[in-house]
Each structure stands twice: as C-alpha cells, then as structure tokens.
Amino acid sequence: MSAEPTRERLLSLIEAFSRVKVLAFVDLVADEYILGRISRVSREAPVLILDYDESRIVPGGGANAVNNIAVLGGQALAVGVVGNDPAGRELLSQLRKAKVDVSGVESLEGYTTPTKTRILAGGPHSAKQQVVRIDRKTRVPAERELRLRVDAALQDRLREAGAVMVSDYGYGLVTKELGCDLARRAASLRKAAVLDSRRAVCDFRGFTSATPNEPEVEAALGVAIGHDRKALESSGRKLLRTLRLRSLLVTRGKDGMALFEPRRQTRSIPIYGSDQVTDVTGAGDTVISAYTLALGAGASFYEAALLANYAGGIVVMKRGTATVSGEELARAVESDRRG
C-alpha cells in the first residue's frame, strides 16, 4: 500500500487546480428554492399555509458539478442542453458569472429545463426545513442533428481539456454511444475521464474512474451492502471489472468512502468532519468535481479520493445545493489532525 501523501503534496494539488481545464459533459438541472414562514393551518384542508419570503434558482445536477469545478478554482468547459425558458436562461447566466465556458451548451426551443423545486418552511427564529420537492421531469429530444452538434462540441473541447467529467442524471443527453465514445477518445489522449451515472452506470465502458454512491452500486448489481464489508468488497471488485475501470470511488455517506483499484488493497477513507450532516443535496456533484480536478492536476487515485473526501465533508455541512471553494478545501487539509 502506498504511503500517505503529505499535507504539502495535497496543498500543491489544490494550487494546481487553476491550471486544469475540465470538459464537463453533463445534464444541466435548475434547483429552485421557495422559502416561506408558516403562518397558520388552512381552513380549506389540514395543511399549513406558508407566507412567501423569497425564491431563487441555483445550478443543480450536472450544472452543480460544473459550478463546483469553477468555484474550486478549475476551468470548466460545459457541454449540455437547456431549454430556452426562464430556468434555462437563469442557469446559463449563473454559470457565466462563475466564469464557466458555456459556448458548448445548446439552448433548445420547446425543451423544458429540468427543474427541482424545493419548498422550505420555518419560523422567524428557526432554520427552514424542506417540506416538499417538486420535480419537472423532461427528456432531451433524440434528434440526430442535435446529437451531431453535441458530439462536435465534445470533440472540439476535448483537445484543450486536461480531464473529462461526465454527469448523467438520466435526462437522455448522456447516451451510451456518446459517453463511451468520449471515454475512448479521452483514453487515446491519456486524459482521465470520470463518470457519475445515477441509474445506468453499467451501460458505460472505457472510463478511467467512476464515483457512484453505495445505493447506486446496490441498484446496479442487485445486491444489498449495508454494513457488510464483504458485500462491499465483492461489489466494488465486480463493478471495477465489469466497467474495466482503473479505479472506483464509492461514496458511503457517514461511512466515508471506499477506493478500489485493480491489484491493490481497497482503501477505506473515513468521513471528514462530523457525521451529523446538515444537507446531502448535491454532495455527489462536489465529490466528482474535486476528484476529477485532482486527477487532472496529476494526483494519484488515492490523493484525488482524499481531496474529494474533504470537499464532500465540507459541502454536507451547508444548506441546500452548495459549492466548496479552493480556499475552503485548503483550510480543511491544513487543519485536519490526520494530516
């Protein structure tokens, strides 16, 4: 087993993030938050009435992963699709403000930008809690001309990228054909390609690495892992072989992470910070962003996993869809007593 990286080594990798361009092929999602104060119980039905305070839209899904790359200090080249609707326009506006290159994003007439609306309620002196989530589901049109334009955008940006990140939320953009072809091209150029697929991880081959969470591994293989270390080990090894990966990083919530590599002992990484998390929304997006950036900066898989673990531990202590800055990540590395 390789030696633990020094604190100085991890800090040097974070500093190198600014020199890494990441081609991000992602499902762009808008996360909408509606906030209000509970005023009374309705006389029409046994439900609470909320007095509206404010609403906002932030990058969600793959857009959150792209946003995290930019906030961490990297350079993001986004390829994806939004609708020519208020949510899509706001999403592009926010990504541009974060200095994300969105020239590879298609804005489609007649397509509805996937939107997850979370309604949060609370009293004047208490933290607001999520009451309900409303998902506006949609599918990217399966049009040949659109696929050709997306493929051309991927090819153009791959030349200048130092690493590739694919975030598939199941909206039909990241097809098996486009995803696997992109992974093959990246491999031919010796560039790391990292995959996060919520429901179809077994459809993809040829990626350098993948970052599923434990429930996604269970669903993909039809197994139950829980706290069974043997089940985790056998499942991780099977997925590593099936997808022909050079590494597999499984996120396990309060149980931390497990890193699998061929012909190497599995590395268990305990959670950074407290296991009393505030909000897990978007934590997986932060993990893949930090992991991909680190690989693009020259990190080993273990070093990248450690930095992703720090980033994930920071973001789950924030409310809502959130990001982690390079400065926050560096402070975590500097202050961690394990360093």
Short-list 339, 338, 276, 273, CA closest to 312: 273
Separation of first and last alpha carbons in the chain? 18
Of 299, 307, 313, 315, which is closest to residue 333 (Cα–Cα)? 307
Q: Is the model's pLDDT at 259 over the cut of 70?
A: yes
Residue 47 banded pLDDT, cuts 50, 70, 90 = confident
Q: How far apart are CA 176 and CA 179, in angstroms?
A: 5
In this predicted structure, what is the pLDDT of residue 50?
Answer: 87
**Contact, 295 vs 301, CB < 8 A?**
yes
User: What does the pLDDT look like over 295-318, one tens digit per residue?
Assistant: 999 999 999 999 999 999 898 887
pLDDT band at residue 266 using 50, 70 and 90 as cut-offs: very high
Return the pLDDT at 287.
Answer: 95
What rounded mean pLDDT belongs to the chain?
92
Task: List, for residues 168-183, the tens digit of each pLDDT value.
Answer: 999 999 999 999 999 9
Pick the catalytic residue: 31, 156, 285, 336?
A: 285
Position 291 scores a pLDDT of 98
Q: Is the pLDDT of residue 133 over 90?
A: yes
Q: Does residue 219 carry a pLDDT above 70?
A: yes
pLDDT on residue 280? 66
- Which parts of 49-118 fold into alpha helices (H)? 62-71, 86-97
Mean pLDDT across the stretch 239-245? 95
Q: What is the pLDDT of residues 105-123, one digit of tens each?
A: 999 999 999 999 999 988 7
Q: Which of 1.10.357.10, 3.40.1190.20, 1.10.3210.10, 3.40.640.10 would CATH assign to domain 7-29+60-113+138-335?
A: 3.40.1190.20
**Is 285 known to be catalytic?**
yes
| CA separation for the pair 32, 56 (Å, rounded) | 6
pTM for this prediction: 0.93
